[in-house]
Structure 1
Amino acid sequence: MSQTATPAAANEPRQRSVRVVMVGLMVAMLLAMLDNMIIGTAMPTIVGELGGLNHLSWVVTAYTLATATSTPIWGKLGDMFGRKNIFLMSIVLFLAGSALSGMAQTMDQLITFRAVQGLGAGGLIVGVMAIIGELIPPRERGKYQGLTAGVMAIAMIGGPLVGGSITDNWGWRWSFYINLPIGVVALAMITIVLHLPKKRTKARIDYFGAALLTVAITSLVLLTTWGGTQYAWGSGQIIGLLVLGLAALAGFVFAETRAAEPILPLRIFRSGNFTLISLIGFLVGFTMFGSMTFLPLFQQTVQGASATNSGLLLLPMLLSMMAVSMVAGRVTTSTGKYKIFPIVGGALIIAGLFLLSTMDVHTTRLMSGVFMAVLGLGMGCIMQITMLIAQNSVEMKDIGVGSSSATLFRTIGGSFGVSLFGALFTHKVQHGMSSVAGGQGSEATKGGAQLDPATVAKFPPAMKDAYFHAVASGTHVVFLWGAVISIVGFIAAWFLVETPLRGHAAKAAPAAEDTPVLADAH
């Protein structure tokens, strides 16, 4: 007698396969997130061997630029030619860049190979998000949000520890080589288990639009990277970058209205939700990444924490973020409601940043940990929900550019935040040092406000105390302005329209050839 499988039983193999694919995707995401954390601790050793201290910042800038400029292009290529193969190409490119970086013999070679690595990294993040968007409908996607939050926590906590250990025991080159076995695991799992529909398109790639967008993003990132540090804000170089960036951006918008297959279709911004969530993502990147840059500095300088364990100092924030992200995902999956999370998250971020702005030289690590936990609660409400809303606000054919646009706005926001908050911090510290210690204080910080602990330890007691107070004052200004700017995102969240989340793909009755397929996990 034949037996009919229950829907739950029939769905079980698919759920197993989804979990296997998710593990592969999370490994790939870990590659991109962990890389900069590991390399940061290895940089002093790298400079000691290769030299080129004056080009040190370009090791990071080349990677960041390549990642930002390639992100929207990877998203569009996935929409046009199929997500799986494009994603696998980005992994291979990232691994090739990692291997070449590990073999670099000069600083110029390392910078070049880091750019190659960054090109691959741009496809890793957007590829993960777009594949999740195609594989798992928004209504069910919340169940997996905790995974991405967990990967972020692992990268931020484990990166500095792993980087320091690898550099000390195996040498700095293994900071790059370690990506190879991890990447091979991700490649194997995605290749074997994930089967998405193959796409063929006769449309031409929008090379002109891609070039204009690259120029615009490069100009704006360099402007925020160099402004107030390498060049004065009013210098010809910075003004020239601003003019070039705005002109390229205007040209890009015009070109996209004429392109047959635009690299970033402007139609996606007709959705009020997508435009609002892009603004919120930009502001989250601006305030969060901008202000978080100064948390380890405050703890290492004012509170005397070890630089090696700087990742552990962020545990209160990261654990609360991960816990709330999981809860938010489960609630969204079971109820289909999501608008409350950007609103509550926005309020908590404002509260967390304001509490952090009250820290001074007498604030204990326990108290700063409580403040960070409040900030983490707000981040947990917003970080993954923004991507969910962005993907639900575009058609399935545009889910790649939707994901890449959301990622790009957050990245650009973070770049602006780090630069502008850095300028505020530096000005405040230098003003505080000159006020308290006079010319000697100005001389001590003329090369920059972020002095390493070894340098500060050599200061006379009075100078050291003045620097601690100046750093506390600088972080106060940064966090306070972060709280003020976050109010804009909080207000924008109220205008989101809670449109129904798309259910399971099968319910939409797509054509059979367009349905994502998963290999059985057995």
Structure 2
Amino acid sequence: MLAFVKIPEVLPKQKLTTAIRALPGQLDIVGFSLFASSAIQLLLALQYGGNQFSWHSSQVIGLFCGAGATSVVFIFWDYRQGDKAMIPFSMIRKRIVWSSSLSYGLLMAQVFCLLWYLPVYFQAVKSDSPFMSGVHLLPSIVAHLFGAIFSGKIIQRVGYYLPIILICSSLMAVSNGLLSNLSPHTTTAKWVGYQILSGASRSLGLQIPIIAVQNVLPPSQIPLATALVMFSQTFAGALCLSLADTVFTNSLSKLIPTYAPSVDPQTIIDAGATQFRSYVSEGQLDGVLLAYSKSVGRVFYLTTGMACGCLFFSCFMGWKDIRITKSVSNA
């Protein structure tokens, strides 16, 4: 398709040899190294906390302190580099850029968490195989596909992207709130309906942050702004998945002693969603399943908060008609 489709050039393109010679000077290697080390330390602290080490252990506290100190150095370096920095302050200060980046990051983070922990619910609580847990995700996937088809037409007809992203994030908050009520006895009709609402709502706003920056900023700033929006998706997704894992694991370790006192929580956590049944007696199974479903529900509390955050930051994306106006000349 790329071989036969001609993509219009918004900006003049440099020669290949010129671009290769200029590339090393445009890369902020120091900034990337500082940001990467800070992010890795933060993710490791969230991963280790409550799992391999306690939250007040020297390892976790040291990682948090290292992440904070490195991020301060990164901010100083980023400010010093100016427009040559990996994340230029002059760009992220623009309201349309930071609001679109935060909205898109939170939107995609809750999608990643949903697609990760719904299969955990199906495999652990409903005793599905990994294959069938994927099949049971089809309601959200199909709704997402159909919603994506119609969302472009809706944006084209309405012209203003702000009301659509507000409706999208509001419905996402509702759908995640409904999914947080999943239990061992949730009927098929309910989890199918919840997934349809989730898939359809997120598909409405999936393109809007990118459309917003591409229609508000001048052509010379669009590539960098689009890269920042896409970067927010990756970083927020990784960060929120680590947070979700922390919430889920700590919830399991606290709820299993409550609902199944004779079961070792660490054994259930180490066994995983598909193997823990072999370590649980018939009399304790119902309690473990209830602890699992409530732990997944607490993850969906987190995704509900992400959707609410997306709703809040979307309010700053501005009110702009992106429809192409045709000028009519009098003959």
TM-score by length of 1: 0.55
Identity of aligned residues (%): 20
CA distance in 2 between counterparts of 1:300 and 1:212 reads 39
Q: Runs of 5+ in structure 2 lacking a partner? A: 326-331
Alpha-carbon RMSD = 3.1
The equivalent residue for 2:148 is: 325
Contact 2:50–2:250, Cα closer than 8 Å, also in 1: no
With over 3 angstroms needed to count, the CA separation of the structure-2 counterparts of 1:263 and 1:22, relative to structure 1, is farther
Code of the aligned partner of 1:197 = K
* Residue 474 of structure 1, aligned match among 257, 278, 295: 295
* Residue 225 of structure 1, aligned match among 47, 52, 65: 47
| 1:388 shift after superposition | 2.2
Contact 1:271–1:393, Cα closer than 8 Å, also in 2: no
With over 3 angstroms needed to count, the CA separation of the structure-2 counterparts of 1:450 and 1:409, relative to structure 1, is farther
The equivalent residue for 1:247 is: 69
Greater relative contact order, per chain length (Cα 8 Å cut-off, separation 6+): 2
Q: Runs of 5+ in structure 1 lacking a partner? A: 1-19, 25-131, 138-195, 505-522
With over 3 angstroms needed to count, the CA separation of the structure-2 counterparts of 1:286 and 1:369, relative to structure 1, is same
With over 3 angstroms needed to count, the CA separation of the structure-2 counterparts of 1:381 and 1:23, relative to structure 1, is farther
Q: Deviations over 1:76-125 (max 9, x none)?
A: xxxxxxxxxxxxxxxxxxxxxxxxxxxxxxxxxxxxxxxxxxxxxxxxxx
The equivalent residue for 1:21 is: 2
CA distance in 2 between counterparts of 1:229 and 1:333 reads 48
Q: Deviations over 1:494-516 (max 9, x none)?
A: 23202354969xxxxxxxxxxxx
Q: Secondary structure at 1:258's aligned position in 2?
A: helix
With over 3 angstroms needed to count, the CA separation of the structure-2 counterparts of 1:417 and 1:377, relative to structure 1, is same
Q: Deviations over 1:191-213 (max 9, x none)?
A: xxxxx833546582333222222
Contact 1:285–1:417, Cα closer than 8 Å, also in 2: no
Number of corresponding residues: 319
The equivalent residue for 1:208 is: 30
CA distance in 1 between counterparts of 2:131 and 2:224 reads 38
Q: Secondary structure at 2:80's aligned position in 1?
A: coil
* Residue 424 of structure 1, aligned match among 230, 233, 247: 247
Code of the aligned partner of 2:48 = W
Q: Deviations over 1:162-204 (max 9, x none)?
A: xxxxxxxxxxxxxxxxxxxxxxxxxxxxxxxxxx833546582
Q: Secondary structure at 1:303's aligned position in 2?
A: coil
| Runs of 4+ residues over 4 Å off in structure 1 | 134-137
With over 3 angstroms needed to count, the CA separation of the structure-2 counterparts of 1:475 and 1:403, relative to structure 1, is same
Contact 1:425–1:449, Cα closer than 8 Å, also in 2: no
Contact 1:225–1:415, Cα closer than 8 Å, also in 2: no
The equivalent residue for 2:93 is: 270
TM-score by length of 2: 0.84
Code of the aligned partner of 1:454 = Q
Contact 1:457–1:464, Cα closer than 8 Å, also in 2: no
Q: Does 1:287 align with 2:123?
A: no
Q: Does 1:370 align with 2:193?
A: yes
* Residue 226 of structure 2, aligned match among 403, 408, 424: 403
CA distance in 1 between counterparts of 2:214 and 2:61 reads 36
CA distance in 1 between counterparts of 2:111 and 2:204 reads 13
The equivalent residue for 2:125 is: 302
Q: Deviations over 1:33-76 (max 9, x none)?
A: xxxxxxxxxxxxxxxxxxxxxxxxxxxxxxxxxxxxxxxxxxxx
Structure-to-structure mapping, 1:98-177, within 5 angstroms: 135=8
With over 3 angstroms needed to count, the CA separation of the structure-2 counterparts of 1:249 and 1:395, relative to structure 1, is farther
CA distance in 2 between counterparts of 1:331 and 1:136 reads 27
